[in-house]
Structure 1
Amino acid sequence: MKVLLPIFYLPPVSWFAVFLQSKAVELEQFEHFPKQTYRNRTTIYGANGRLSLIIPISHNGKRVLNETEISYRENWQKLHWKSIKTAYQSSPYFEFYEDKLEAIFNFSTPSLIEFNLNALKVIQQILKTEKEYTLSGEYLKEPEGKNYREKFPAKHREDYGLETYYQTFSDKFGFEADLSILDLICNKGPETLTYLKNIDLNKI
């Protein structure tokens, strides 16, 4: 079945399970930009628990996602990378992927979609996958196939029955489900792909 997914910034684990397990994937680029979603934020596991990293948006009046521009008034890329490094430098696999992950934040573009898709490309390189996808050609209120545009809420937690795994700070705060794909990669390493393919999509 064809699925329609939103274009997220370093998406949560559940998003990646749908992305990799679905036969045909289309990514939505013509929706109106919704605030407070993973389209411009990601959630990692920091020393004090869940930590949201937010890409600042340029408020230029443009509302369609593929016209949404990133604001570089502050050096958010440096801040995000520092937060990720601090959170995961003691995780089992961070050092193996550090150079590739850092490259995500050395990529500069005014386009939010371009930044997110470049990050997706890097994650696919790390996972050694070449999952193909298409970009939507127009906005359809009732799209063909399964619509995931409103799934994966950033405002409240969903665990989707995800299997627990070791996390750097789980001894302190317990298991945090459905964080950014970065959390899974840094803690599970080469087992990440197997973990994603074993997730039950019926629970998402």
Structure 2
Amino acid sequence: MAQPAAVIQMDVHAHYQKGSWRNRCYIAGPHGLQLLSVPLERGKNERRPFKDVKISQSERWQQQHWRTLEACYRRSAYFEFFEDDLAPFYQRPYTFLLDWNLDLLRFTFKPLKMAPDIIMTTSYQPFQPDNPFDIRAQNTKDTRHAALGATLAPYQQVFGERYAFLPNLSILDHLFNKGLSAIEKNNT
């Protein structure tokens, strides 16, 4: 059964911030943390509303990201379980970063049996530092979950025999390694 509908408000009119998590994530690779970054069109993206930030079409980033995910997670317990549903995100063309983010966000909600309403703002919403759910200022890998008070118990990761648990990775790491147990724990 799906979780009760929550509401996620996305401020799509806020200026894109270079170095934010809107176009990048970390996964576990054979040499530790591995960055996946969606390339953006050159220009002054920092002065541009997030809804208008375009993905660069000059690189084959989707193919590269997919091959990296396959190389890093093919031997994980649940990669094959999610593979067919995830692969189209790395084949379908995207113009805007917002569209890529929304599609991938909705993909991650589905196996977690969550169905939040995602509402786009109609104008810029000022940052609310006293609101723990306003996570726009969280830009580093060590603090991006801190705003919500989220902690994740260590779990077995693909390259766990090479190095200690790597926290704050993409939700894909959790799904590929924990599979249905990730779903069950998130629904209790």
| TM-score, length-scaled by structure 2 | 0.84
Aligned-pair CA distance for 1:126: 3.0
CA deviation vs aligned residue, 1:144-199 (integer Å, no higher than 9, x gap): 9541111252377878542111111112111011100000000010122343457x
Q: Which amino acid aligns with 2:118?
A: Y
**Map of 1:39 onto structure 2:** 22
Query: 1:181 aligned to 2:171?
Result: yes
In structure 2, C-alpha distance between the alignment counterparts of 1:196 and 1:128, rounded to whole Å: 9
Distance of aligned partners of 1:162 and 1:21 in 2 relative to their CA distance in 1, 3 Å threshold:
farther
Aligned-pair CA distance for 1:101: 1.3
Query: 1:58 aligned to 2:41?
Result: yes
Aligned-pair CA distance for 1:129: 2.8
- RMSD (Å), alpha carbons: 2.5
Describe how 1:191-202 pairs up with structure 2 within 5 A: 191-196=181-186
**Map of 2:118 onto structure 1:** 133
Describe how 1:1-204 pairs up with structure 2 within 5 A: 23-62=6-45, 63-143=48-128, 146-151=133-138, 153-154=140-141, 161-196=151-186
3-state DSSP class of the match of 1:171?
A: coil
CA deviation vs aligned residue, 1:67-107 (integer Å, no higher than 9, x gap): 00000101010000000110100000111111111111112
Aligned length: 179
In structure 1, C-alpha distance between the alignment counterparts of 2:120 and 2:183, rounded to whole Å: 23
In structure 2, C-alpha distance between the alignment counterparts of 1:66 and 1:158, rounded to whole Å: 23
Distance of aligned partners of 1:165 and 1:67 in 2 relative to their CA distance in 1, 3 Å threshold:
same
Distance of aligned partners of 1:60 and 1:151 in 2 relative to their CA distance in 1, 3 Å threshold:
closer
In structure 1, C-alpha distance between the alignment counterparts of 2:52 and 2:122, rounded to whole Å: 14
Unpaired runs of 5+ residues, structure 1, are 1-19, 199-204
Distance of aligned partners of 1:177 and 1:101 in 2 relative to their CA distance in 1, 3 Å threshold:
same
Q: Which region of structure 1 is more displaced relative to structure 2, 118-127 or 139-148?
A: 139-148
Identity of aligned residues (%): 27
Is the 8 Å Cα contact of residues 25 and 132 (structure 1) preserved in structure 2? yes
**Map of 1:9 onto structure 2:** none
In structure 2, C-alpha distance between the alignment counterparts of 1:24 and 1:157, rounded to whole Å: 19
